Structure 1
């Protein structure tokens, strides 16, 4: 049983991380839907670009070497000491929307705003942070069915492990055949038999 608990521990830790991530994404989306203000945004520009990232020699996080046409990524030269080049394709563009009568323009990777496919002129219902209008999101649950299955599977692993390691109350079979006293401790004499005294017989002597 101990080996089983140890073997399952990495899976439980992974399931816990996944559960926290799914809960965070769902909670953030719900917060944006309830606390942010809705607005209609129009796509001004949309194009597919490739971002080339690399691992700097003196840094932990990856850095961006270039962002441009996907046909030109092969000619990108990394900075000195840079290693592990990686090319990621994405849809980049610009959005325009109005907040309290003031036009706001947002530019960047459209997936950061929750948009994964768009053309110039398309309209999307977005939500923006009233305290920071440049923070926008579609606040839509993408792939909610798959997320729900992952959530349920991860929660099931954690629940099973919790059941496996829970403290168990010892029964009579766990006392090695010895009698149990009223408090559940093995080795005590039965309460109805007093030590050193014979049983009293009923009736006349």
Structure 2
């Protein structure tokens, strides 16, 4: 019974391990941006909503934004989809804190850590499940011989 469960749960454990690594990457990237990138305050100069229909029939709503900011003592502008820089709601005239890459000031990120609690929960659940699976089905009951 345990041998069958060991192999039936292996795909679930692999998916959990991959989700754990993805959550680590997302949280690590946001923390890196907060630590290594420069901070600036941008002013939203334009906001327009958009909707797009995907081939599978799902509709995605979002905003296109344009922001003006100062990076490396030079005035800069950026425009595009808000989700590309971590911005999901905005109004014209809003002042929003961004981080920019000093080597490429046109690369912006809010590094806002949206869903921080959910990310930690995902780390705990997927990591815990994977560790329990490995211990219960692969390591438990093994004897160390010297």
Matched, 1:97 2:69: yes
- Structure 2 distance, partners of 1:105, 1:6, is 54
Q: CA RMSD in A?
A: 1.8
- Structure 2 distance, partners of 1:103, 1:22, is 34
TM-score by length of 1: 0.65
**Corresponding residue of 1:169:** 143
What runs of 5+ residues in structure 1 fail to find an aligned partner? 55-83, 171-182, 185-205
TM-score by length of 2: 0.90
Whether the 8 Å CA contact 2:27–2:119 is kept in 1: the answer is no
Whether the 8 Å CA contact 2:42–2:97 is kept in 1: the answer is yes
What runs of 5+ residues in structure 2 fail to find an aligned partner? none
Q: Deviations over 1:21-63 (max 9, x none)?
A: 1000000001100110001100011121112344xxxxxxxxx
- Structure 2 distance, partners of 1:107, 1:51, is 18
Stretches (4+) displaced over 4 A: none
State the structure with more CA Rg: 1
Q: Deviations over 1:123-148 (max 9, x none)?
A: 01110001111111111111111111
- Structure 2 distance, partners of 1:52, 1:106, is 25
Q: CA deviation at 1:149?
A: 1.1
Alignment coverage as a number of residue pairs: 143
Q: Deviations over 1:96-119 (max 9, x none)?
A: 101233221111111211111100
- Structure 1 distance, partners of 2:97, 2:17, is 33
- Structure 1 distance, partners of 2:4, 2:43, is 58
- Structure 2 distance, partners of 1:40, 1:110, is 15
- Structure 2 distance, partners of 1:141, 1:106, is 21
**Corresponding residue of 2:91:** 119
Whether the 8 Å CA contact 2:48–2:65 is kept in 1: the answer is yes
Higher normalized helix content (fraction of residues): 2
